[in-house]
Structure 1
Amino acid sequence: MPTSSPARRTFRSSVAALGAAGLVALAPVSAAHGEENTPDLVVGGMAPVSGLRPGDGIDVTATVANKGTVTAEKVWVAYSVTRGLDFAEMPSNCRVQHVRPYDEMPERWTAVCAFEQAVEPGAVYTTDRPLRVTALDRALNDELRLRVESAYPGADENGSDPVAGTAPPVKLVVTEAGGVGSARIVDVPVTTVNTADYQVTGTALRGSVADTVTMTVKFTNAGPAWVWPREGDKAVRVVITPPAGTSVVKRGTFCRAEDGAYVCGMRSLYEGSGETYTFDLRIDRRVPDAKGSIALSTEARPFDPDKANDQADITLDVAGDGSDGSAGGSDGTGGSSGSTGGSDGGSSSAVAGGTANSGTTSGGNLAETGPSVLPTAGMAAAAVAVGAGMLLIQRRRRAQLPD
């Protein structure tokens, strides 16, 4: 893969940081450093595109002009499209590469076309046929970038090896048409009518008081469109509220505490991508029906009409709440905890509190144990009476014996 010089790498880093507006601002600086005798090329020819549907195509015709006083002996025009768009065919004098996302730039495809033609000062040129670009199933908010250079711009270091096209070569022809443009780089918004379904997934937690449990919840863009927020768009966030009675030991990545909840971001909004947020929670106390939530923030999302999956519950079931008798018994109040279920809790209440009859509404062993106490007490009383009678008879008999 061709590599660029250190100076060009530095320049491209500046491009990523400043954007197209920054490139325009750099033009006077170049002239101030002794480059006023170079061609002053500008590109244009495309207006913003909207109303496309997946599968639709647009014809891209680049217009090149030389506003300087020096002839450009050869020019290169680069076409770049974000990942919702694709090139239908590629002329043989163009080389295409796939570029991975970096420096907040999204994934894209770039075609650099070389024109072995002189571009005279004051003249306007256009391509002799348009380059066809197609909207993919994942298209939504995309961008077409046009760029013109008087020297080979080199391949992007973050991209694949460039591949030459196979269609007949494209040429520049002199034109009297307007739309000359005013910059070396022009960004054209391309909007497709499509949807993207943002959704969240909750979880069910279980543990005992003093346990630390792991809470894992998720955000997903179920597509079909990818989403690339444009400048000025408010970022959508995920808001996570842990269940009552817990405290956060370790929070999830990309999350910050805010107003009793945790506000989280995501790394990608590509279709099918998502973010998993993992928290460690300590169960401090049992709160009946404790429930938290994961929800999307309220920023407008006109591309996401399905709001039913924008919120999900985070439930917490704290063990030891009566099912195993650990919630009571020793303080004589076990009957009430036994009423929440569990035969063990009921039987321990009858023994410890002696309140079997008051617990018969819970069913189970309480109702069975209560009546069994009465026959046992009667038998014990009878045994005591019989023993006392036998002792009295023995004493009388001894008194009647002769000396």
Structure 2
Amino acid sequence: MPIAPHNRRASRAAVAVLGAAGLLALGAAPAAYGDEPAPELVVGGIKALDGVKPGSSFDLPVTVANKSTVAAEKVWVSYYVTRGLDFAEVPSNCWVQHVRPYDEMPERWTAACGFDQVVEPGVVYTPEKLLRVTTLDRALNEELRVRVADVEPGVDDNGTTPVTGTAPAVKLVEGQAGSAGTTGVVTVPVTAVNTADYQVTGAALKGSVGDTVTMKATFTNAGPAWVQPRQGDKSVQVIITPPAGTSVVKRGQFCRAEGRTYFCGMRSLYEGSGETYTFELKIDKRVSGAKGSVALSTEARPFDPDKDNDKADITLDVTGGESAGPTDSPTPGSDSSAGGSSSTGGNETTPNGGYLAETGSSTLPLTGAAAAAVITGAATLLIVRRRRNQGAS
């Protein structure tokens, strides 16, 4: 979730100073320093929003209060919104910064507004004109955070140069009693009415027995919304099963193997983003009607109503070689990038509700020449034993 921007260079410098002279500073501090009262600012009025529509706007009904016994000489109210939201008209007593994603934090916009006025204890204030937020076309699972403090928040090193607002400056005015908050920071979800179309594509392969062919399967979020998973959401996976009669020489990036099935992740769920999974497959034998698949995992995605493009075929046209027939078990693939091959018998499901292709049993029955060799060996042993018994008698 978004956090308050901070000046990491300044933080590192402060740590260095404290590290060099911390003990001296602590020893020289007056005993009563920690007992001095300080303002205790809280923010309220912010509630979760559900059902907002792309292209619409809404106001932020923020309240500020001082729970301490001393006045605050100046107050800063900071707003943070994820990339599906934006600020409409920003007052000139505020600055805005666009912050790129880092450390698992999503891309976001920050607006920090300074109110150069005294905030008295026990009084609830609100901006005379509320900050307005616009819902963008890509909005879906958004987040809003509001924070109040008596010092200016630092500028984030990963953000753009802050820009001062151009709308008329606003000030705090006394609001209704009883609407004060209880904490200095509030984070709430903002959910838009929108969709995101997850799509996969398969491949059409062709080659001769013994050839190594390149297979490319893709995942795309066709939008219009980007998707920010919320706490508790299961991660979507792309499940790739190569055609029977092939073995995997090299797997695609972000893919892990479970038998002959591969579970693949993606780097981004931004609108218009995608991932290409490139596999190298060796054609071991010709299997009539061999067909693999690319499919999305089966967790619930209510924002993605179009299920027709959630699965695609991987076809294989093999020239030359004797056909093994459609009922033959696929050959377990040797994946050099995985350090060997693995197979499981029968149809299985993974813990996350995915599915594994039938790979055949790793234990094979004795048939044909192998069975004859066993019978011949047993007969020879019986003759030798009889001759030994006759000689002894």
| Interval of TM-score (by shorter of Structure 1 and Structure 2) | 0.7 to 0.9
- How many residues end up aligned between the 2 structures? 301
- With over 3 angstroms needed to count, the CA separation of the structure-2 counterparts of 1:163 and 1:174, relative to structure 1, is same
C-alpha displacement of 1:113: 0.7
Q: Distance in 2 between matches of 1:233 and 1:35?
A: 45
Structure 1 residue ranges, 4+ long, deviating more than 6 angstroms after superposition: none
Please give the secondary structure, in 2, of the residue aligned with 1:215: strand
Contact 2:39–2:70 (CA<8 Å) still a contact in 1? yes
Bigger proportion of residues as helix: 1
Q: Which residue of 2 aligns with 1:114?
A: 114
- With over 3 angstroms needed to count, the CA separation of the structure-2 counterparts of 1:9 and 1:42, relative to structure 1, is farther
Which blocks of at least 5 consecutive residues in structure 2 are unaligned?
15-32, 324-393
Q: Which residue of 1 aligns with 2:90?
A: 90
Q: Distance in 2 between matches of 1:37 and 1:299?
A: 52
What letter matches 1:278 in structure 2?
T
- With over 3 angstroms needed to count, the CA separation of the structure-2 counterparts of 1:41 and 1:311, relative to structure 1, is same
Please give the secondary structure, in 1, of the residue aligned with 2:114: strand
C-alpha displacement of 1:69: 3.4
Q: Distance in 2 between matches of 1:253 and 1:9?
A: 36
Q: Which residue of 2 aligns with 1:211?
A: 211
Q: Distance in 2 between matches of 1:294 and 1:166?
A: 51
Alpha-carbon deviations, 1:258-308, whole Å to 9, x = none?
253111111111111111111122222221121111100111111111000
Contact 1:61–1:129 (CA<8 Å) still a contact in 2? no
C-alpha displacement of 1:123: 2.4
Q: Distance in 1 between matches of 2:12 and 2:153?
A: 10
What letter matches 2:288 in structure 1?
P
Q: Which residue of 2 aligns with 1:63?
A: 63
C-alpha displacement of 1:122: 2.6
Which of 1, 4, 9 is the equivalent residue of 2:7? 4
Please give the secondary structure, in 2, of the residue aligned with 1:230: coil
Alpha-carbon deviations, 1:211-255, whole Å to 9, x = none?
222211110010111111111111111111111111222211211
C-alpha displacement of 1:145: 0.9
Q: Which residue of 1 aligns with 2:169?
A: 169
C-alpha displacement of 1:6: 4.7
2:279 maps to 1:276:
no
Q: Distance in 1 between matches of 2:7 and 2:300?
A: 42
RMSD: 2.3
- With over 3 angstroms needed to count, the CA separation of the structure-2 counterparts of 1:75 and 1:233, relative to structure 1, is same
* TM-score scaled by length of structure 1: 0.70
Q: Distance in 1 between matches of 2:13 and 2:236?
A: 33
Q: Distance in 2 between matches of 1:316 and 1:265?
A: 24
Which blocks of at least 5 consecutive residues in structure 1 are unaligned?
12-32, 322-326, 329-403
What letter matches 2:66 in structure 1?
N
Q: Which residue of 2 aligns with 1:202?
A: 202
Q: Distance in 1 between matches of 2:201 and 2:242?
A: 14
Q: Distance in 1 between matches of 2:279 and 2:229?
A: 28
Q: Distance in 1 between matches of 2:36 and 2:64?
A: 19
Alignment of 1:301-320 (within 5 A): 301-320=301-320
Q: Distance in 1 between matches of 2:10 and 2:124?
A: 30
Q: Distance in 1 between matches of 2:10 and 2:101?
A: 22
Alpha-carbon deviations, 1:163-211, whole Å to 9, x = none?
0111001211122344422222211211111111000011111222222
What letter matches 1:268 in structure 2?
S
Contact 1:44–1:182 (CA<8 Å) still a contact in 2? yes
Please give the secondary structure, in 2, of the residue aligned with 1:170: coil
Please give the secondary structure, in 2, of the residue aligned with 1:298: coil
- With over 3 angstroms needed to count, the CA separation of the structure-2 counterparts of 1:122 and 1:177, relative to structure 1, is closer
Q: Which residue of 2 aligns with 1:388?
A: none
Q: Distance in 1 between matches of 2:277 and 2:34?
A: 54
Q: Distance in 2 between matches of 1:109 and 1:3?
A: 14
2:276 maps to 1:267:
no
- With over 3 angstroms needed to count, the CA separation of the structure-2 counterparts of 1:35 and 1:273, relative to structure 1, is farther
Q: Which residue of 2 aligns with 1:151?
A: 151
Structure with larger Rg: 1
- With over 3 angstroms needed to count, the CA separation of the structure-2 counterparts of 1:5 and 1:202, relative to structure 1, is closer
Contact 2:48–2:190 (CA<8 Å) still a contact in 1? yes
What letter matches 1:276 in structure 2?
T
- With over 3 angstroms needed to count, the CA separation of the structure-2 counterparts of 1:70 and 1:254, relative to structure 1, is farther
Contact 2:8–2:156 (CA<8 Å) still a contact in 1? no
What letter matches 1:161 in structure 2?
T
Q: Which residue of 2 aligns with 1:292?
A: 292
* TM-score scaled by length of structure 2: 0.72
Alpha-carbon deviations, 1:11-32, whole Å to 9, x = none?
9xxxxxxxxxxxxxxxxxxxxx
Q: Which residue of 1 aligns with 2:81?
A: 81
- With over 3 angstroms needed to count, the CA separation of the structure-2 counterparts of 1:268 and 1:314, relative to structure 1, is same
Q: Distance in 2 between matches of 1:263 and 1:274?
A: 16
Contact 2:8–2:157 (CA<8 Å) still a contact in 1? no
What letter matches 1:164 in structure 2?
T
Q: Distance in 2 between matches of 1:80 and 1:191?
A: 15
What letter matches 1:77 in structure 2?
V
Q: Distance in 2 between matches of 1:299 and 1:289?
A: 30
What letter matches 2:280 in structure 1?
D
Q: Distance in 1 between matches of 2:271 and 2:196?
A: 8
Contact 2:200–2:217 (CA<8 Å) still a contact in 1? yes
What letter matches 1:319 in structure 2?
T
